[in-house]
Amino acid sequence: MDLNSVTPYEMLGGDAVVRAIVDRFYRLMDEEETYGELRALHEDDLSGVRAGLTEFLSAWLGGPKTWFDRKICMMSLHRPLPITPEVARQWSEAMARAISDQPDVDEKLAVAMTHRLMDMAMSMVNE
Protein backbone atom coordinates (compact mmCIF):
# COMPACT_ATOMS: atom_id res chain seq x y z
CA MET A 1 0.00 0.00 0.00
CA ASP A 2 1.23 3.51 -0.85
CA LEU A 3 1.15 5.19 2.55
CA ASN A 4 1.14 8.65 0.96
CA SER A 5 -2.30 8.01 -0.46
CA VAL A 6 -3.95 6.74 2.72
CA THR A 7 -6.48 9.24 4.02
CA PRO A 8 -7.47 9.74 7.67
CA TYR A 9 -10.95 8.61 6.46
CA GLU A 10 -9.56 5.22 5.44
CA MET A 11 -7.38 4.96 8.56
CA LEU A 12 -10.44 5.61 10.71
CA GLY A 13 -12.49 2.84 9.11
CA GLY A 14 -14.47 4.74 6.47
CA ASP A 15 -18.22 5.31 6.31
CA ALA A 16 -19.19 2.82 9.03
CA VAL A 17 -17.00 4.47 11.66
CA VAL A 18 -17.91 8.05 10.67
CA ARG A 19 -21.59 7.10 10.98
CA ALA A 20 -21.01 5.39 14.32
CA ILE A 21 -19.28 8.53 15.68
CA VAL A 22 -22.08 10.83 14.48
CA ASP A 23 -24.72 8.47 15.86
CA ARG A 24 -23.08 8.28 19.25
CA PHE A 25 -22.48 12.05 19.35
CA TYR A 26 -26.14 12.97 18.78
CA ARG A 27 -27.35 10.18 21.06
CA LEU A 28 -25.20 11.52 23.91
CA MET A 29 -26.39 15.07 23.20
CA ASP A 30 -30.01 13.95 23.08
CA GLU A 31 -30.01 11.70 26.12
CA GLU A 32 -27.63 13.16 28.69
CA GLU A 33 -28.72 16.12 30.77
CA THR A 34 -25.18 17.43 30.92
CA TYR A 35 -25.49 18.40 27.21
CA GLY A 36 -28.85 20.12 27.72
CA GLU A 37 -27.72 23.61 26.70
CA LEU A 38 -26.22 22.27 23.48
CA ARG A 39 -29.33 20.19 22.79
CA ALA A 40 -31.58 23.21 23.30
CA LEU A 41 -29.91 25.03 20.37
CA HIS A 42 -30.93 22.22 18.01
CA GLU A 43 -34.27 21.41 16.47
CA ASP A 44 -36.31 18.50 17.87
CA ASP A 45 -35.65 16.48 14.73
CA LEU A 46 -31.92 15.77 14.49
CA SER A 47 -31.98 13.98 11.14
CA GLY A 48 -30.78 17.04 9.18
CA VAL A 49 -27.77 17.76 11.38
CA ARG A 50 -27.00 14.06 11.57
CA ALA A 51 -26.72 13.87 7.77
CA GLY A 52 -24.82 17.19 7.65
CA LEU A 53 -22.21 16.21 10.24
CA THR A 54 -21.71 12.84 8.53
CA GLU A 55 -21.03 14.60 5.22
CA PHE A 56 -18.79 17.21 6.79
CA LEU A 57 -16.64 14.73 8.72
CA SER A 58 -16.32 12.45 5.68
CA ALA A 59 -15.06 15.33 3.51
CA TRP A 60 -12.87 16.79 6.28
CA LEU A 61 -11.16 13.41 6.76
CA GLY A 62 -10.46 13.00 3.05
CA GLY A 63 -13.40 10.75 2.18
CA PRO A 64 -16.38 11.46 -0.13
CA LYS A 65 -16.61 15.17 -0.92
CA THR A 66 -20.38 15.74 -1.15
CA TRP A 67 -20.17 18.30 1.68
CA PHE A 68 -18.07 20.59 -0.52
CA ASP A 69 -20.66 20.43 -3.34
CA ARG A 70 -23.10 22.15 -0.98
CA LYS A 71 -20.65 25.05 -0.51
CA ILE A 72 -21.64 25.81 3.06
CA CYS A 73 -19.12 27.64 5.23
CA MET A 74 -19.02 25.93 8.62
CA MET A 75 -18.16 29.15 10.46
CA SER A 76 -20.93 31.21 8.76
CA LEU A 77 -23.43 28.45 9.51
CA HIS A 78 -22.69 28.69 13.23
CA ARG A 79 -22.21 32.47 13.52
CA PRO A 80 -25.91 33.25 14.22
CA LEU A 81 -25.97 30.73 17.08
CA PRO A 82 -25.26 31.93 20.63
CA ILE A 83 -22.17 29.80 21.32
CA THR A 84 -20.79 30.29 24.82
CA PRO A 85 -17.56 28.65 26.04
CA GLU A 86 -19.76 26.23 28.05
CA VAL A 87 -21.75 25.17 24.97
CA ALA A 88 -18.54 24.69 22.97
CA ARG A 89 -17.21 22.62 25.87
CA GLN A 90 -20.34 20.43 25.78
CA TRP A 91 -19.91 19.92 22.01
CA SER A 92 -16.23 19.05 22.48
CA GLU A 93 -16.84 16.63 25.34
CA ALA A 94 -19.65 14.77 23.55
CA MET A 95 -17.48 14.50 20.41
CA ALA A 96 -14.44 13.31 22.41
CA ARG A 97 -16.61 10.59 23.99
CA ALA A 98 -18.21 9.62 20.67
CA ILE A 99 -14.76 9.11 19.14
CA SER A 100 -13.23 7.30 22.11
CA ASP A 101 -16.25 4.95 22.32
CA GLN A 102 -15.34 3.46 18.92
CA PRO A 103 -13.60 0.16 19.57
CA ASP A 104 -11.15 -0.20 16.71
CA VAL A 105 -9.84 3.29 16.03
CA ASP A 106 -6.10 3.93 16.05
CA GLU A 107 -5.41 5.83 19.27
CA LYS A 108 -3.13 8.48 17.79
CA LEU A 109 -5.64 9.23 15.05
CA ALA A 110 -8.46 9.42 17.61
CA VAL A 111 -6.53 11.87 19.78
CA ALA A 112 -5.42 14.02 16.83
CA MET A 113 -8.95 14.18 15.42
CA THR A 114 -10.49 14.95 18.79
CA HIS A 115 -8.13 17.85 19.43
CA ARG A 116 -8.62 19.43 16.01
CA LEU A 117 -12.41 19.19 16.35
CA MET A 118 -12.21 20.73 19.82
CA ASP A 119 -10.17 23.62 18.36
CA MET A 120 -12.88 24.09 15.75
CA ALA A 121 -15.64 24.11 18.38
CA MET A 122 -13.73 26.60 20.56
CA SER A 123 -13.16 28.89 17.57
CA MET A 124 -16.96 29.13 17.17
CA VAL A 125 -17.41 30.75 20.60
CA ASN A 126 -19.04 34.14 20.04
CA GLU A 127 -20.58 35.05 23.41
Q: Could you list the residues that contact ligand HEM (CB under 6 A)? A: 38, 41-42, 48-49, 52-53, 56, 74, 77-78, 81, 83, 87-88, 91, 117, 120-121, 124
Q: Smallest gap, in angstroms, from Cβ of residue 6 to ligand HEM?
A: 22
Number of residue whose CB is nearest ligand HEM: 52
Q: Smallest gap, in angstroms, from Cβ of residue 122 to ligand HEM?
A: 7
Kindly give the residue spans of alpha helices, DSSP state H, lying in the chain: 8-12, 14-31, 36-40, 47-60, 66-69, 74-78, 85-100, 107-123
| Of 16, 17, 20, nearest in space to 106 by CA | 17
Residue (4 or 47) nearer to ligand HEM, CB: 47
